[in-house]
Structure 1
Amino acid sequence: MPKMTEKTAKILIIRFSAFGDVVQSLSLPSALAQTFPGAEIHWITRQDMAPLLQNHPHISRIWQLDRKKGMKGLIALCKEMRQENFTHIYDAHNNTRSRVISLMLRPLGMFGMGPQFIRRSIRRWKRFLLFRLRVNTFEMPFSGQRDLLEPLQPWGVSKLPPPAPQIFLSPESVEKAREVLGSYEGAIALAPSAAYFLKRWPKEYWKELILIFPNEKFVLLGGPEDSFLEDIRSAAPDRVLNLAGKCSLAVSSGVVSLSRLLVVNDTGLLHVAEQLGKRTIALMGPAPFGFPCRPSTKVMEINLPCRPCSKHGQGPCVNKARFHQCLVDITPGQVAIQIKALQGKSL
């Protein structure tokens, strides 16, 4: 498809959640803008994810879905969006809500009429082969951003992610992060949590890592449910700041931006760091689809025949030889070597 040179394209991206997926999807507007110069790009997302999209130079308008309003609210929002006369719609989510939006904005789509439309495939058959039969037909190495960009190739969009940064934090979020950090600005950030236990590097390993660096300050990032972070802080309470549950997603992203580097499990803050271009060590365990791809991120993983074992790392662990081996075999000493390397020092 030839590039458009006038403001004739009006594109809608549909991606509601989750945190990490929305952050990875932030490469989409820039990639689309490269193919459609001057395009007006809209995005519909969940209300709590909207702050992550703000300030993006290639997003013209953010439509916010209030889940409390249910299907009635969704339909009302669709009626309003229909007035925009979108020329292109990319369903990057592929769930019931996104299908309702697609149907209402292109009711004659089955007849080839209305906006050009692409829906990202969930690739159920490939996933079945991978997780049930241990046959991998996915392009390697895994890349979360490539999987989001690749469906847009029929529109001439490259599957290579645009350069960082692709998340643009508000000055208010960065300033709030600076306030909560205080003297810990420029410290090493650690994100020991993850949605599922099997994606978490062992708690005791985080404590050992902190003790390897007696002259460093550390910041712990997590949600209000991550009470175990206080135990990690106890390894060196005089130089570890626990921000679990004290920051919004936007402010946590600001903390990452003000940190020297990030050590993180396979979770949303990994993608924040990647989109910022922040130096990062990613501890990758059982799940395959959230892999980073930028050179600023050092991926640490153990190659095992049982990996990957599940879509999200929800388990159970299928390794009969050693439970949780994919992360247990990544030692604090090995991570410490990578921290030193990222800082240009020798251990």
Structure 2
Amino acid sequence: MLSTAKTAKILIIRFSSFGDVVQTLSVPSALVQTFPGAEIHWITRKDMAPLLKNHPHIKRVWEFDRKAGLLGLMKLTLAMRAENFTHIYDAHNNMRSRVIVWILRPLGFLGMGPTFIRRSIRRWKRLLLFKFRINTFEMPFSGQRDLLEPLQAWGVSKIAPPAPQIFPSDENTRKAAEVLGDYAGSIALAPSAAFFLKRWPKQYWMELIQLLPGERFVLLGGPEDSFIEDIHAVAPDRVLNLAGKCSLQVSSSVVGLSKAIVSNDTGLLHVAEQLGKKTIALMGPAPFGFPSRPSTKIMELNLYCRPCSKHGQGPCVNKEKYQKCLVDITPAQVAEQLRLLLGDRP
């Protein structure tokens, strides 16, 4: 029986993106609950590999360099054949992941080779949702549940294992402590997101800081997020701007050294969840990055137009107000929820 196997050797395939890889970090622990003697490997993009390397249930990380192209991927996968995997979970479901499965299961069409599950992209369900406003997805949305659900065929629970499921290295934690200085234990803010429609307005972040004069804040983002400096400028004496100054791994450690985080629908939200940090998630147009843990307070509006797109790439379809799903979540409301989350009286 699959659920009683003690010698399973399992490959997880997930290359990117940052937030999706972080959410998939729950899968190894869930697998070990069902396969207690399992040896788990993971193939991912080279720049994502550091996120995985300290996970206690991942035996080996295989790193794929995109610069190597398809030939490089095939060479890497051929080397992986010597591992004789018993199970493969394609959690990505793209052309690259299909190449890997084809090489590792050349007789898969005959039912031979490793036991295999591929996560469905659910194209028809997405078409119904975004084009016809017919929602056939399980509610509430949950990114981690969607990654675990296909594995029920192996007896794996679709309930995410408890945090932590991300394990920053000692080196990255030390670097985070250095850049934070006496801002360790502050509130982290993640004002950016890959798509503009997923961003709570810049002015709102500024107002939130002003509504909490007794708190100190750390701003996180990428080097392209120059707008974050405007947020920093509202209270430079108690706001530290680390946008563009830390790697993803060090930023993850910064979240770990913070007492709470307020975040848009972005990768650092999932880092906070996997660390078990107190989190406020500002959820707007996209459905598939929804948080999954009780440590997270989801703030959202029930609108006819939500969700409107897979990633929040738009366009905004609300006829009443542009970006209404986030604009109508006020700084005062977020400040109140943050006080409650921290156990502070208004």
Report the Cα offset of residue 86 of structure 1.
Answer: 0.4
d(CA) in 1 for partners of 2:128 and 2:251? 37
2:184 and 2:250 map into 1 onto residues whose CA distance is 13
Give 2:224's aligned residue. Answer: 225
Provide the rounded CA distance (Å) in 2 between the counterparts of 1:216 and 1:169: 25
Does the residue aligned with 2:164 lie in a helix, a strand or coil?
A: coil
Counterpart-to-counterpart distance in 1, 2:83 and 2:342: 49
By how many angstroms is 1:3 displaced? Answer: 3.2
Mapping for residues 151-170 of structure 1, pairs under 5 Å: 151-170=150-169
SS in 2 for 1:305: coil
Distance 2:4 2:15 in 1: 28
Counterpart of 1:264, as a letter, is S
Contact 1:188 1:216 in 2 (8 A): yes
User: Where does residue 71 of structure 1 map in the other structure?
Assistant: 70
Matched position secondary structure for 2:12: strand
For 1:235 and 1:339, locate their aligned partners in 2 and report how far apart those are by CA, in whole Å.
Answer: 19
Q: Flag as ranges the 4+ runs of structure 1 deviating above 4 A.
A: none
Say if 1:301 and 1:326, in contact at 8 Å, map to a contact too: yes
Q: Is the 8 A contact 1:9 1:87 kept in 2?
A: yes
Q: Give the Cα–Cα distance (whole angstroms) in 1 for the partners of residues 234 and 300 of structure 2.
A: 25
Aligned to 1:142: 141
Equivalent residue for 2:194?
A: 195
- Indicate the residue corresponding to 2:306 in structure 1: 307
Equivalence for 2:238: 239
Aligned to 2:268: 269
> Residue 317 of structure 1 corresponds to which residue in structure 2?
316
Alpha-carbon distance in structure 1 between the residues aligned to 2:304 and 2:212:
34
Question: d(CA) in 1 for partners of 2:2 and 2:101?
Answer: 25
Deviation per residue, 1:31-50 (Å, 9 max, x gap): 00010011000000000000
Which residue does the alignment assign to 1:15? 14
Q: Please give the alpha-carbon distance, in whole angstroms, between the structure 1 residues aligned to 2:339 and 2:174.
A: 28
Is this contact kept in 1: 2:3–2:154, CA < 8 A? no
Q: Which residue of 2 aligns with 1:216?
A: 215
Contact 1:192 1:229 in 2 (8 A): yes
Cα shift readout 1:191-250 (whole Å, capped 9, x = no counterpart): 000000000000000000000111211100000000000000010011111001111111
Cα distance in 1, alignment partners of residues 191 and 12 from structure 2: 31
Contact 1:25 1:145 in 2 (8 A): yes
Matches of 1:165 and 1:346, distance apart in 2: 28
Cα deviation digits, residues 308-334 of structure 1 (max 9, x gap): 000000000000111100000000000
SS of equivalent residue, structure 2 residue 213: coil
Q: State the identity %.
A: 75
Structure 2 runs not aligned, ≥5 long: none
Kindly provide the amino acid, as one letter, of the partner of residue 211 in structure 2: I
CA contact (8 A) 2:19 2:268 kept: yes
Partner of 2:282: 283
Is the CA contact 1:205–1:332 (under 8 Å) kept in the aligned structure 2?
yes
What amino acid is aligned across from residue 27 of structure 2 in structure 1?
Answer: L
What's the CA shift for 1:346?
Answer: 1.8
TM-score, L = length of structure 2: 0.99
TM-fit CA distance, 1:103: 0.1
In the alignment of these two chains, the number of paired residues is 346
Q: Amino acid of the residue matched to residue 80 of structure 2?
A: M
Determine whether 1:3 maps to 2:36: no
One-letter amino acid matched to 2:292:
C
The Cα of 1:109 is off from its aligned counterpart by 0.1
What is the SS of the residue equivalent to 2:4?
coil
Q: Residue type matched to 2:252 in 1?
A: S
Alpha-carbon deviation of 1:132? 0.2
- How far did residue 2 of structure 1 move? 4.8
Across the aligned residues of Structure 1 and Structure 2, the Cα RMSD in angstroms comes to 0.7
SS in 2 for 1:11: strand
Equivalence for 2:124: 125
Q: In 2, Cα distance between the equivalents of 1:317 and 1:125?
A: 22
| Aligned partner of residue 189 in structure 1, secondary structure | strand
Residue 58 of structure 2 aligns to which amino acid in structure 1? I
Structure 1 residue 5: deviation in Å?
Answer: 5.6
Partner SS for 1:310: coil
Question: What letter is aligned with 1:141?
Answer: P
Runs of 5+ consecutive residues of structure 1 not aligned to the other structure: none
Q: What amino acid sits opposite 1:238 in the alignment?
A: D
* Counterparts of 1:63 and 1:57, CA distance in 2: 16
Residues 167-207 of structure 1: per-residue CA shift (max 9 Å, x gap): 01111111100000001000110000000000000000000
Residue number in structure 1 paired with 2:46: 47
- Alpha-carbon offset, residue 54 of structure 1: 1.0
Residues 30 and 160 in structure 2, CA contact (< 8 A), matched pair in contact too: yes
Q: Secondary structure at the match of 1:3?
A: helix
Deviation at 1:4, TM superposition (A): 3.2
TM-score by length of 1: 0.99
Please list the CA deviations of residues 94-146 of structure 1 after superposition, one character each: whole Å capped at 9, or x if unmatched: 00000000000000000000000000000000000000000000000000000
